Amino acid sequence: MAAVQTETVTLTVNGQSVTVPKGTLILDAAKEVGIDIPIFCSHPKMAPVAVCRMCLVEVEKMPKLQPACAVYVADGMVVKTVTDQVNKYQKGVLEFLLINHPLDCPICDKGGECPLQDQTYQYGPGASRFTFDKAHFDKAVPLSDRIVLDRERCILCWRCTRFSEEISGERELALIQRGVHTIIGTYNDEPAQSNYQGNWTEICPVGALTSRQYRFISRPWDLDRTASVCPGCAMGCNIQIDARNNKIGRFQSRENVAVDDSWLCDYGRYSFPNFQRESQERPRIRRNGALEEVSFDEAIGFAADQLTQAGGQVAGWASPSDTNEELFLFRRLFRDVFQSPHLDHRPGALPDPEPEDTSLPIADIEHLDHAILLGGQEVIDAAPVLHLRLFKSQRKGLIVHKVGVGEGKKALDAVPAEAQAVGVLATEANKSAAVELQSRLSKKVKGSVRRLMITTGPNGRGAKDLGILPHLGPGYVSLNGQSGKGRVEWPGAGLRAVYIHESSPLHAFATSDAESMWLPGLPLLIYHRFKSSPLDDLAHVIIPGHAFTEKDGTVTNMEGRVQRIKTAIDAAWVREDWRVMQAIANRLGAGWTYADVAEITAELVRALPPYAAVNQAERVTWSENR
Amino acid sequence: MAIKRVLTKDFATENLEQLSVYERTGGYSGYKKALEMQPDELVELVKKSGLRGRGGAGFPTGNKWSFLPKGVYPRYLVCNADESEPGCFKDRYLIEESPHQVLEGILIASYAIGCNLAFIYIRGEYLPQHEALETAIQEARQAGYLGKNVLDKGYDIEVILHRGAGAYICGEETALLTSLEGYRGEPRLKPPFPAIKGLYGKPTVVNNVETVANLPHIVNNGADWFTAMGTPTGRGTRVWCMSGHVNRPGNYELENGTPIRELIEEHGGGVWKNRKLKAFQPGGASMMVLLPEHLDVGLDFDAIAKAGSLAGAGAMVVMDETTCMVDAARRYVKFFHHESCGKCTPCREGTFWMANLFDAFEAGAAKASDIDLLLDIGYNIDGRSFCPLGDASTWFPRSVIKFFRDEFLEHLSEKGCPFKKTVQEAVA
């Protein structure tokens, strides 16, 4: 494909020449040469509004100061961001912004990471000349069960209202009243319903919108920040875990344009209490009907002995929130050590996966002209941040068809034959319908028809890739008649032991009716998990494990992107899950010698070459390697 | 010099608001003539006439029309009847006395720019005027002046009358369009200008009531007739709304360039109660104050600008010697504070602060440094705010500080308003 010729424009900013594509804002052109222009209302994901007036700069031949966030560059433009006039004005506008701002920074959650505070220090006046009573507004207004609004701190930058209009499209927040009495709020003060409210707190340039979960929890400089991946769903949104004193304070977004486009959903963002470790737990084994605390070594020895007695009649379930490294060892433990093919990660019966499961990367949704959501809203519910990408694309012309699973015909009729790029989005439960629709569309439509399957759990895709399945090996290779039994077949299959490895309460081993009849009679249940659950009562061995916040590793999102998670919370008294698996294997004579997670990752990549993608944060693609 | 009247020349005619009476005075002949012409010819004619917008900015009307991008339809004409500048009441008068004249102008402008749907955005408080226009539209429709295939010329035009809900900012053209679309009345970023992306994102011309009212006469009498009136840069006449301390307040249509002295002294009958003139303010609440020494300045955009003020929307507020200039500024600042839409920081916060400071002067609680503080706040608002409302909020108070600084100082030394007593006398 020939490179698209982009028209460029050359201008000078503070005497430095810079060449940028036509249609660039002064603000961004200045950034190119490292010149920072202060902003409040401007946001890279939203259309310019130029309401805060913080970014005014001098442009030669223009009589007035110009908003750098809203004026596009022109050839030969001469921009000056540091002049007496600009400096004086910057002090002036900050003085304006602060006359009705409570300046309660010492008790404000935003203090320390607040653009208003930072820019006042950098550009503002040392003191205010305003001597009158400030305009007073309601403080600590609950906007919903998640968000609190302090109307006195609000500087009316419109970021949250624009998010509600331009990014999520829900139009839940609006400006009410006018002039100095302007406030933001919801219609009739009804609680906000959006599933994306947490983003409001992140884009708010002051402490007006704060998360109720994080209120008064920490000062920003006391937080330890760790890059990670959201445990909520298969989307794989990048997050930052902010912890204080080894306790999770909040999840913040960490922009990955290819995945989350810098947003998170509330389901994922506010899921962190599920990963808060409550007690310093020790392993337990059941002796004479009662659980007793033992050391890790003793629990491992006990489990290994019991598993040996079970012979090959052992099944393993690893949760779709485990890391690839854990899953890799889990599979080896079963296939190589126990010689058992009964492996699964699925919550129940799900259609068989295929090697080439996703040909449509998330970011490519923006280049579609028709998207079919097979299953309608359930597709969004399975990966809520998808909605933001879809809505963004809709604003650029994408047509979205929400149809029921049985309404493939309707979708087929709705997409015209001349469509250039069509996407079919469905949860993996509706895979067969999606495959059928894709093939029928391919026959009708001139352009490409691609599919994006929303897998279950943050690493359901990794579990499939790595062969945590009864009938397929790593890389979806056939087992040549060595297939085992899937989870739904286990009750009544004559199994003597089950090993459940579970890292997240969000994707736990939820028992079906048949399973709850079967499990109590099972001779051996090894429950290796992060958080206790009713399964504890049935387990013969309980081994505490790490949550995703407490370990290193990689996870694969639904489009096959392999991303790293890192240890944010120290729980060193709990033995790493992979070490427990290695110890059990070695008790049974395996002789594994992994010294750390990196060695497992390396071996995983050797065993499964497409996973070399991990080193580039790229997508794993199977089709090209087959 | 004989008084030349254009817009108001027939206003003495009884029942002029009725279509038949209006037609008898030559009404709708301009429209009929326009329909015989090519739209481009009309644009050229108006350009040649030198007609400048009467809403305040004085932008050449013909030029405004010619900015519409070729071939982009639909396009809209919006007549701005939101007249909300304190001191202005000319649009009200023009609509009240001769709604058909305004409507005819709208129809001519619509035809000239190739618009099939025109809007009149009328100030919410103008209820009788709204009714007058509504009746006029119905009459004109029955007469075949608007609707489908007007006068068998194959031109379709519909006019929609919309009432505002009481916001000064909605007189600003982009805020007007936003309000017309059903959103909060707040100005929009320019560019894109309404001519490119206006109402519903389509090319749009916004013209003032008085501007369009001139059109039938220009079409009827030609550009040369129009350019023969007024000054080289301000052709034609203007309707001046005179109020304040004069003997005969009211609307006066005068040829552009007529000295201010003639308006106040002859037409207005001079300052009331035999008092002396202290100051006057052309253009409305926004504009800078002028002094008796400026009485010989001509009523014209450029001449008034040269004198240090702006002609704006054609108001003339006269203030006699008993007027407290600090209080006058205070009232205007409070108006702008009240009407600020809150969109941009300098206007929202700056007008709030200025209002507080002026209250302090009147209450005797101000400090000497507050005079320069007011100037500094003005500096930080003017040219920095999003739309001209913010800029304009500073012009009158700053000009008052310039010319009447000693009155501020008196407020400081007297710890309050030194005019309170004289005002009480005046009322008594």
pLDDT by 10-residue block (mean), chain B, 428 residues:
83 96 96 96 97 93 96 97 95 97 98 98 97 97 96 96 95 97 95 96 98 97 96 95 97 96 96 96 93 96 94 94 95 97 97 97 95 97 96 97 97 91 60
Chain B residues lying within 8 Å of A53, measured CB to CB: 344-346, 384-386
B interface with A, Cβ–Cβ below 8 Å: 167, 184, 189, 337-346, 348-353, 356, 360, 373, 376-377, 379-380, 383-386
What's the pLDDT score for residue A1?
Answer: 42
* Longest CA–CA separation in chain B, Å: 74
DSSP character for A336?
A: I
Could you give the angle at which helices B345-363 and B325-339 cross, rounded to 10 degrees?
150
Q: Which residue of A has its CA nearest to B349?
A: A96
Q: Which residue of A has its CA nearest to B389?
A: A179
CATH code at A284-352+459-625: 3.40.50.740
CA distances to A47, A266, A404, A408 from A386, in Å: 21, 13, 18, 21
CATH class in words for B19-228 = alpha beta
Give the minimum alpha-carbon distance from A48 to chain B in angstroms, rounded to a whole number: 9
Among A101, A203, A215, CA closest to A147: A215
CB of B393 closer than 8 Å to CB of B350: yes
What's the pLDDT score for residue B426?
Answer: 59
Which of A89, A130, A175 lies at the smallest CB-CB distance from B353?
Answer: A130
Tell me how far apart the alpha carbons of residues A524 and A618 are, in angstroms, rounded to a whole number: 40
Report the CATH architecture of B234-320.
Answer: Roll (3.10)
- Amino acid sitting at position B119: F
Report the CATH architecture of A362-454.
Answer: 3-Layer(aba) Sandwich (3.40)
Among B80, B108, B76, B109, CA closest to B95: B80
Count Cβ atoms within 10 A of the Cβ of residue A609 and give its class: 0-12 exposed, 13-18 middle, 19 or more buried.
exposed
**A51, B386: Cβ pair inside 8 Å?**
yes
**A53, B338: Cβ pair inside 8 Å?**
no
Chain A residues lying within 8 Å of B377, measured CB to CB: 92
Neighbours of A409 (CB within 10 A): 11
Give the minimum alpha-carbon distance from B180 to chain A in angstroms, rounded to a whole number: 17
CA distances to A89, A112, A121, A205, A385 from A117, in Å: 17, 8, 6, 9, 31
As a dihedral over the C-alpha atoms of residue B33, residue B34, residue B36, residue B42, rounded to 10 degrees, the angle is 130
Among B307, B263, B244, CA closest to B86: B244
Tell me how far apart the alpha carbons of residues B379 and B397 are, in angstroms, rounded to a whole number: 12
Q: Which residue of A has its CA nearest to B341?
A: A179
Residue pLDDT, tens place only, A232-265? 999 999 999 999 999 999 999 999 999 999 999 9
CATH class in words for A105-112+127-275 = alpha beta
Same fold, A105-112+127-275 and A284-352+459-625: no
Which of B337, B360, B383 lies at the smallest CB-CB distance from A179?
Answer: B337
CATH class in words for A8-82 = alpha beta
**B386, A97: Cβ pair inside 8 Å?**
no
Name the residue ranges covered by the structural domains of chain B: 19-228, 234-320, 325-427
Task: List, run by run, the mean pLDDT of 10-residue segments along chain A (626 residues).
Answer: 73 97 97 97 96 97 96 97 97 98 96 97 95 96 97 97 97 96 96 97 98 95 96 96 96 95 97 92 94 97 94 94 97 94 87 68 96 96 97 97 94 95 94 92 95 93 93 88 91 95 95 95 96 95 97 94 95 96 96 96 93 78 49
Tell me how far apart the alpha carbons of residues A595 and A578 are, in angstroms, rounded to a whole number: 10
Tell me how far apart the alpha carbons of residues A80 and A35 are, in angstroms, rounded to a whole number: 10
Helix H or strand E encompassing A175: strand A173-176
Q: Which residue of A has its CA nearest to B345?
A: A52
Tell me how far apart the alpha carbons of residues B311 and B318 are, in angstroms, rounded to a whole number: 14
Chain B residues lying within 8 Å of A51, measured CB to CB: 343-345, 386
What's the pLDDT score for residue A480?
Answer: 84
Helix H or strand E encompassing A198: helix A198-203
Instruction: Enter the pTM of the model.
Output: 0.94
Give the minimum alpha-carbon distance from B179 to chain A in angstroms, rounded to a whole number: 14
What's the pLDDT score for residue B2?
Answer: 60
Q: Scan for tokens 């080289």, then name that residue.
A: B232
CATH code at B325-427: 1.20.1440.230
- Long-range contact set of residues B12-15: C-beta below 8 Å, sequence gap at least 24: none
Which of B348, B379, B383 lies at the smallest CB-CB distance from A179?
Answer: B348
**B342, A178: Cβ pair inside 8 Å?**
yes
* Strand intervals (E) in A503-550: 524-529, 541-544
The gap from C-alpha A356 to its chain's centroid, in whole angstroms, comes to 23
Give the minimum alpha-carbon distance from A36 to chain B in angstroms, rounded to a whole number: 20
Tokens of B207: 């013209």
**A53, B344: Cβ pair inside 8 Å?**
yes
Which of A50, A155, A180 lies at the smallest CB-CB distance from B352?
Answer: A180
Q: Scan for tokens 């209450």, then name that residue.
A: B363
Tokens of A620: 């794993």
Q: Scan for tokens 């009827």, then name that residue.
A: B220
CA distances to A43, A198, A369, B184, B201 from A166, in Å: 12, 16, 19, 17, 17
Among A158, A172, A9, CA closest to A78: A9
Radius of gyration of chain A, Cα coordinates, nearest whole angstrom: 28
Tell me how far apart the alpha carbons of residues A355 and A608 are, in angstroms, rounded to a whole number: 13
Name the residue ranges covered by the structural domains of chain A: 8-82, 105-112+127-275, 284-352+459-625, 362-454
CB pairs under 8 A between A and B: 90
State the best of A73, A178, A181, A395 to mutate against chain B, taking most chain B CBs within 10 Å: A178
Give the minimum alpha-carbon distance from A119 to chain B in angstroms, rounded to a whole number: 15
| CA atoms within a 13 Å half-sphere pointing along the CA-CB vector of A127 | 2
What's the pLDDT score for residue A626?
Answer: 34
CA distances to A342, A492, B389 from A517, in Å: 19, 10, 75
Count Cβ atoms within 10 A of the Cβ of residue A240 and give its class: 0-12 exposed, 13-18 middle, 19 or more buried.
middle
Radius of gyration of chain B, Cα coordinates, nearest whole angstrom: 22
Chain A residues lying within 8 Å of B352, measured CB to CB: 99-100, 135, 179-180
- DSSP sequence for A111-140: TTS-HHHHHHHHHS-SS----SPPP----S
3-state secondary structure of A427: strand
Tokens of B171: 């007189």
Which of B338, B343, B384 lies at the smallest CB-CB distance from A51?
Answer: B343
What's the pLDDT score for residue A625?
Answer: 37
**A92, B167: Cβ pair inside 8 Å?**
no
CB of A454 closer than 8 Å to CB of A427: yes
Which of A65, A93, A156 lies at the smallest CB-CB distance from B342?
Answer: A156
Residues in contact with A445: Cβ distance below 8 Å, sequence separation at least 6, in sequence order: A415, A416, A417, A418, A419, A422
Which of B340, B346, B353 lies at the smallest CB-CB distance from A179?
Answer: B340
Residue pLDDT, tens place only, A299-357? 999 999 999 998 889 999 999 999 999 999 999 999 999 999 999 999 877 766 665 65
Which of A50, A92, A175 lies at the smallest CB-CB distance from B380?
Answer: A92
Could you give the angle at which helices A84-99 and B369-381 cross, rounded to 10 degrees?
100
- DSSP sequence for A352-368: PP-SS---S-GGGGGG-
Tell me how far apart the alpha carbons of residues B288 and A552 are, in angstroms, rounded to a whole number: 69
Q: Which residue of B has its CA nearest to A101?
A: B349
**A99, B353: Cβ pair inside 8 Å?**
yes
| CA atoms within a 13 Å half-sphere pointing along the CA-CB vector of A163 | 23
Tell me how far apart the alpha carbons of residues A374 and A378 are, in angstroms, rounded to a whole number: 9
